[in-house]
């Protein structure tokens, strides 16, 4: 038996991280969290609309009186979106694009409605802050995830240099 061998490890000798795997993990986290939260919120709206109206943070009453039928309608929309996101979790590369586009459009339209209410004075300016975490920030998050998905697609299938 000879003397022990000392192996020097540097950044150059470490295995390269696969950026696609990291990005796919990021998508899965987004689909999983978004799907669970959408499904839970949608279920709450569907099965306990009065409770949702009174308890959910965000000064919902500022936007008008409680309407259980309308809240249930929104609950169905959120629940369906949650199911779609959880389905996309099964194969983010294949199903992620459509799930992200539909989710981004719906959240963007929702945010535009809030901006219109704030700008027109139907609700107070305090809603710029109140609505930030649950209305405006998700638009940015879904946009970033769509951009990540798109980057993964172009990495897997680069765009041609010339269009015929």
Query: Has residue 117 got a pLDDT over 50?
Result: yes
Task: Give domain status of residue 124, yes or no.
Answer: yes
pLDDT at 91 (0 to 100)? 92
pLDDT band at residue 11, thresholds of 50, 70 and 90? very low
Task: Give domain status of residue 26, yes or no.
Answer: yes
pLDDT digits (tens, 9 = 90+) for 102-111: 999 999 999 9
Q: Are 110 and 142 in contact (CB under 8 A)?
A: no
Phi, psi of 91 (to 5 degrees): -155, 80
pLDDT at 153 (0 to 100)? 86
Task: Give domain status of residue 161, yes or no.
Answer: no
Q: At what angle do helices 19-47 and 92-120 cross, to 10 degrees?
A: 50
pLDDT band at residue 75, thresholds of 50, 70 and 90? very high
- Considering only CA atoms, give the Rg of the chain: 22
Residues 6+ apart with CB under 8 A from 71: 45, 49, 52, 53
Task: Give domain status of residue 132, yes or no.
Answer: yes
SS3 content of the chain, % helix, strand, coil (to 5): 75, 0, 25
Secondary structure of residue 159 in the 3-state scheme: coil
Q: Are 73 and 52 in contact (CB under 8 A)?
A: no
- Dist. CA 108–CA 143, nearest whole Å: 9
Task: Give domain status of residue 14, yes or no.
Answer: no
Question: What is the count of structural domains for the chain?
Answer: 1
Task: Give domain status of residue 120, yes or no.
Answer: yes
Task: Give domain status of residue 72, yes or no.
Answer: yes
Secondary structure of residue 9 in the 3-state scheme: coil
Task: Give domain status of residue 15, yes or no.
Answer: no
Domain that holds residue 91: 20-155
Query: Has residue 10 got a pLDDT over 50?
Result: no
- This prediction has a pTM of 0.80
Higher pLDDT, 163 or 136: 136
Average pLDDT rounded to a whole number, residues 39-62? 94
């Amino acid at each position: 038996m000879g003397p022990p061998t000392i192996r020097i490890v540097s950044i150059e000798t470490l295995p390269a991280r696969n950026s696609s795997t990291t990005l796919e993990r990021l998508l899965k986290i987004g689909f999983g969290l978004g799907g669970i939260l959408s499904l839970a919120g949608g279920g709450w709206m569907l099965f306990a609309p009065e409770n949702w109206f009174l308890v959910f943070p965000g000064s919902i009453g500022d936007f008008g009186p409680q309407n259980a039928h309308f809240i249930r309608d929104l609950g169905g929309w959120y629940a369906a979106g949650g199911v779609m996101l959880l389905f996309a979790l099964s194969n983010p590369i294949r199903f992620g694009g459509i799930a992200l586009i539909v989710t981004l459009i719906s959240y963007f339209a929702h945010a535009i409605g809030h901006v219109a209410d704030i700008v027109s004075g139907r609700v107070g300016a305090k809603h710029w802050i109140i609505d930030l975490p649950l209305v405006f920030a998700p638009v940015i998050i879904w946009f970033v995830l769509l951009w990540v998905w798109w980057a993964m697609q172009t990495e897997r299938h680069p765009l041609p240099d010339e269009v015929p």
